Chains A and B, each alone.
Chain A
Amino acid sequence: MLKCREATHLLSERLERDLSLGERMSLQVHTLICSGCRNFGHQMTALRVISQTYAAGTYEAEPSDGSDTPPTPPAGQAPNPDAGVGDIEEDPIPDQAADPHKKID
């Protein structure tokens, strides 16, 4: 019986290579009974879509082509990634708040 640790590894590896029939079947059985890994699987797909959107440079949510909406700087919702990952000190986005044009076209 597949454990969550191996299941997540396969769910990640699925993005790199075709899984064998045996691997696919054990995954199917596992995700049927494990909602955490089922969610993880959906999230891997979402993460790929998110990454591709980011890398296409089209992630600024422009309301329409060529329009000049005024900047809406983030209001007090500074990200705190430490809660998710824990052990890194540097400031990931040093000048975001100071730069109202950053996310605006």
Chain B
Amino acid sequence: MNKPNALNGSPNTTDMMATLADPVFLQDLRRQMLKFATLQLSDEHSAEDAVQEALVGALKNAQSFGGRAALKTWMFAILKYKIADLLRQRQRVVTVSPIPDEDDEDQRANGLFNTHGHWHAEDQPAAWRDPESSIQDQQFWQIFEACLAHLPVEQGRIFMMREFIELESHEICAAVGISTSNLHVILHRARLRLRACLEHQWFVPEDSPC
């Protein structure tokens, strides 16, 4: 719509211009990126800035992308890079705070196991059938996001720093002000929670209670 033929390049370029002129595509992409960034930065302004910069950066090179999927991957890669930068910078301003729900979480994690340290029967992990095909399923991602949102705030933030932004352990420890062993404990708990949620909600759904 916005001058799709302004560049008389290859058909690829024309396709891409059409894609970028598609307001629905751009809006959806922006919304998805904003959600992703806000999750991790817990600050809408920084998130908005990061997304804005990533979009502008990616659009400059838009004609070099073969299609929407490639463009999207590129945009998310730039966004991740920007978020990582912001998170690293924050270690200078963030005051070290104790993880607030530590004790509760400790009890909760211990509650999965009996006094001998073995799984309670109802908490024992089941085999997940075909996780690879789940990632093709739109509904799976809704469940995933819901499970993610149900992690305790600090746990979720640290999990995302590690798994989404792929910061190194020492970077997370510095940014959050915790020890390495503390980090491992928190990641363990987050994973215990996430896997239980995904299992109950998706991989091995139970009959919902009346």
Enumerate chain A interface residues (CB-CB to B < 8 A).
3-6, 8-9, 12-13, 15-17, 34-37, 39-40, 42-44, 46-62, 65-66, 72, 74, 77, 79-88, 90, 92-93, 96, 101-105
Contact = CB atoms under 8 A, between A and B. Distances in A.
B142 A74 contact: yes
A50 B66 contact: no
B188 A8 contact: yes
Given A43-B195, A55-B76, A55-B165, A3 B124 contact: no
A3 B150 contact: no
Contact of A84 (B126, B135, B193): B193
Contact of A93 (B75, B126, B131, B145): B145
Contacts of A39: 124-128
A49 B138 CA distance: 16
A16 B163 contact: no
Interface residues of B, number: 81
B181 to A, nearest CB: 9
A26 B113 CA distance: 19
19 contacts: A3-B117, A4-B119, A34-B118, A39-B127, A44-B195, A46-B128, A54-B144, A55-B80, A57-B33, A58-B69, A61-B137, A62-B68, A62-B69, A79-B142, A81-B143, A84-B198, A85-B151, A92-B145, A103-B141
B48 interface: no
B106 to A, nearest CB: 11
